[in-house]
Amino acid sequence: MSRRVLVLNGPNLGRLGSREPDVYGSTSYAGLVGTCRTLGGELGFEVDVRETNDEGEMIRWLHEAADGSIPVVINPGAFTHYSYGMRDAAAQRTAPLIEVHISNPYAREEFRHTSVIAAVASGTVAGFGIGSYRLALRALAEELDG
């Protein structure tokens, strides 16, 4: 029986592959979706990958996850640094929530060093490119099976 997992992506992540490849790599968004679904299937997950540039939509997805006790892997993108509404929605989680970042925010501009999500997440994985998602899905499987 597979377990449902939401992989939520914030602003500009739909532009992977063309957006600053020196920072975010050359994998396209479709490649990210495929990677998450393939590994998720191997781990016994039904992975639902979503992307939005809309803060309200992300908050609604976090409410959906909380209401359904659905685990979340989330790359909040720029929302990471300032969206208190999203932070409050993430704090309502009823299942594990893992924050991911493709790049290492602490090796970048100072404004990226603050995450309003980290304090309410189960954990954070950052700096491993698309591999951050693979590590997060594996960590999620361990947390759920542990």
| Annotated binding residue 75 | yes
The whole model's pTM is what?
A: 0.88
**What confidence score (pLDDT) does residue 88 get?**
97
Pick the range with the lowest mean pLDDT from 20-24, 61-65, 71-75: 20-24
**pLDDT exceeds 70 at position 104:** yes
Q: Is pLDDT of 55 > 90? A: yes
Residue 112 is assigned to a ligand binding site = yes
Q: What is the dihedral of CA 67, 70, 75, 77, to 10 degrees?
A: -10
How sure is the predictor about 18, in pLDDT bands with cuts at 50, 70 and 90?
A: low
Domain boundaries, the chain: 3-145
Answer whether 12's CB lies under 8 Å from 24's CB. Answer: no
Instruction: Just list the catalytic residues.
Output: 24, 101
Query: What class, spelled out in words, does domain 3-145 have in CATH?
Result: alpha beta
19 is in an annotated binding site: no
pLDDT for 1 beyond 60: no
Residue 5 and residue 40 in contact, taking contact as beta carbons nearer than 8 Å: yes
What is the DSSP code (8-state) at residue 82?
T
- H or E stretch covering 9: strand 3-9
Known binding residue 98? Answer is: no
Confidence band for 112, pLDDT divided at 50, 70 and 90: low
State whether residue 45 is helix, strand or coil: strand
81 is in an annotated binding site: yes
Between 6-15, 56-65, 133-142, the lowest mean confidence (pLDDT) is in 6-15
Tell me, what's the pLDDT at 108? Answer: 67
- The encoded tokens of residue 115 equal 């995450």
Dist CA 122 CA 145 (whole Å): 15
Q: Is the dihedral of CA 12, 121, 46, 139 positive or negative?
A: positive
